[in-house]
Chain A
């Protein structure tokens, strides 16, 4: 009887120990926008190597908080960390944070105008004025002037925006801040801002719901979301003066245009980028990696994974509606990955 019991315990212990030692689990948390491609990556990589990743899509802000507290092995964010946040990591975790771009997204201006159909043209000034509440009617002369031949109704504009804090809002307001002094002064850039006008919807689907249901509405959603749901969207006049429709190629063009002036830490905003074909409201999403990792094994595996993500991983991007990084940026990222070290 006693012997049996010991045997059972021994077997149980063996089970537990083997399961906890053989598999390495790397924990991350952060942005929701890249969640689809990250979970694809983690799944494919797990099948390939047996390394398990656990990623919680709790939002960029939450990811940054967890990176500061040191409760995760890596974070993810749609907006680069602020200086103050990076300093907090240094104070609390004793290491720098590396920003590694993974894929790109864009924000499209979507609208609901049955009469006007697709392909509305907007300039940065007009867009800012609409979201500031200065242009309130669809047949305002500022809109009709750049859309000759379009049947724009004598109808009120209903602005739809995100009610939840979001990287999408951050990119969109970052763009408006760059192109409109008025916007910069009155509203500014952030994941949640004080909207001068409009209704708030929760998430991309909330905003899309508002737009789809309300004739005469205009709002912004992620490019992937607009493509998947076949929303009609506007082409925007970019910095070089060309009207550009949002597309993955136009987003990659924006990144390629920004490579020349890329800062060393890769924390760069792609909005209002130069280049003929560049779509102006584009942005990176980043992985936030500790420069000095405290666990040797995790450091080795994470580096391996990142190198894989930059090469094989990027090929999954287009199918999942993300714009892949241009080659020039991948090179910069790989240099960054080499900087990751292990130090206890």
Chain B
């Protein structure tokens, strides 16, 4: 910022002193400012606003199209478990539950794994291994979700049905999470697929956050006689809120995932704590039923689910970004 101001004051020998652009579309400076600059500035500003406009238009359109169900069911849409297109009864609770439950289970598994990988990459790994390993982790994010889905159907699910679920049912069947017949398809399969999908996000952001902890802190810890593990603890506690942000971003990814989940989750609306039971998510019910939803209220119900999902992911992402920003900013200030 200070550099910019200096440059401007150098230029002011030739031109009148320019004020920083305060109003949105700066037309006042038309006379004393370079015309090209002005056009460029306002064009880029216009593009930036297009992005905002798209988000608002989407929200507006979804609200408009979900009005029929909002009017017909009101708040009951969120609390009702009944989803019956034949009798035109719509309640989104099983889908909201399925979305949140599958994402939370995925996070519970992914978080320790990702943290382990991130700690290794940022604190322990030798330099020659760090780059290729990070690349591999990030590569996981580049795999199309349908590939994950197929992997789920042909590899993961038979294994779950024959090995994992019977074992869990036998040993831990007294818990509400491991009850019922082992289908393979169901909540557990969806959560495991989601785990692999959110892993790269949480890992790479956590690693960056840990790396942004100033080296001086590590050096200070070592100087005080801390062991490697104690130093890592200091780094971890310094990046706590950043890791939380990364986790929320991962959650945002899990909540919105459609294809891979719908291929393995069993697609049956119902609320059950058992990981063996089939379930359904908001994204997958939209993907499944949108094409054939011809009645107005049916369509509107699906669009209202989309709206709820939209609100959910926007909130999650906003909170996550804020946390990540506040952390990285804190350290940058501390360094300079």
Contacts and interface: CB of A to CB of B under 8 A. Distances in A.
Interface of A: 58-62, 64-65, 84-85, 156, 158, 163-167, 187-195, 198-202, 206, 209-210, 213-214
B183 A193 contact: no
Contacts of B161: 213-214
B121 interface: no
Given A158-B183, A188-B87, A192-B85, A201 B267 contact: yes
Interface in B272-317: 278, 280, 284, 287-295, 299
B302 to A, nearest CB: 10
Interface in B147-187: 153, 157-158, 161, 181, 183-186
A202 B261 CA distance: 11
A199 B278 contact: yes
Contacts of B288: 163-165, 192, 200, 202
Contacts of A214: 161, 183-184
B293 A165 contact: yes
A3 to B, nearest CB: 34
Nearest to A85: B294
B291 A164 contact: yes
B266 A165 contact: no
Contact of B84 (A58, A85, A194, A200): A194
A199 B292 contact: no
B321 interface: no
A61 B266 contact: no
Contacts of A198: 268
Contacts of B263: 202, 206
A129 B184 CA distance: 24
Nearest to A166: B292
Interface of B: 82-87, 153, 157-158, 161, 181, 183-186, 262-263, 266-269, 278, 280, 284, 287-295, 299
Contacts of B294: 60-62, 64-65, 85, 191
Contact of B293 (A61, A158, A188): A61
Given A62-B291, A163-B288, A199 B268 contact: yes
Contact of A200 (B87, B157, B266): B266
Contacts of B291: 58-59, 61-62, 164-165
Nearest to A169: B292
Contact of B86 (A65, A84, A189, A209): A189
Contacts of A210: 185
Contact of A213 (B157, B181, B289): B157
Nearest to A213: B158
Contacts of A156: 181
A199 B86 contact: no
Given A163-B262, A213-B157, 6 more contacts: A60-B292, A61-B292, A62-B292, A65-B294, A200-B280, A214-B184
Nearest to B185: A199
B292 A193 contact: no
B301 to A, nearest CB: 11
A132 to B, nearest CB: 14
28 contacts: A59-B292, A61-B291, A61-B294, A62-B292, A62-B294, A64-B294, A163-B280, A164-B288, A164-B291, A165-B289, A165-B291, A165-B292, A187-B86, A188-B87, A192-B288, A193-B86, A194-B85, A195-B268, A199-B185, A199-B267, A199-B268, A200-B280, A200-B288, A201-B267, A202-B267, A210-B185, A213-B157, A213-B161
Nearest to A199: B266
Residue from B82, B85, B153, B288 whose CB has the most chain A CB atoms within 10 Å: B288
A179 to B, nearest CB: 17
A154 to B, nearest CB: 14
Contacts of A166: 292
A198 B268 CA distance: 7
Contacts of A165: 85, 288-293
Contacts of A188: 86-87
A165 B83 CA distance: 13
Nearest to B288: A164
B262 A202 contact: yes
Nearest to A57: B291
Contacts of B299: 65
User: 9 closest A-B pairs (Cβ-Cβ)?
Assistant: A165-B292, A200-B267, A59-B291, A163-B267, A61-B292, A61-B294, A188-B86, A194-B84, A164-B288
Contact of B289 (A65, A189, A192, A209): A192
A60 B186 CA distance: 28
A200 B268 CA distance: 6
A190 B85 contact: yes
A209 B153 contact: yes
A185 B287 CA distance: 28
A9 to B, nearest CB: 29
Residue from B84, B85, B183, B292 whose CB has the most chain A CB atoms within 10 Å: B292
A206 B184 CA distance: 14
Contacts of B82: 194
A193 B161 CA distance: 27
Nearest to A62: B291
B183 A199 contact: yes
A159 to B, nearest CB: 10
Contact of A193 (B85, B266, B278, B295): B85
A58 B289 CA distance: 12
Contacts of A206: 263
Nearest to A202: B262
Contacts of B290: 165
A194 B83 contact: yes
A192 B157 contact: no
A167 B290 CA distance: 13
Nearest to A190: B86
B268 A164 contact: no
A60 to B, nearest CB: 6
A294 B40 CA distance: 47
A209 B295 CA distance: 30
A33 to B, nearest CB: 11
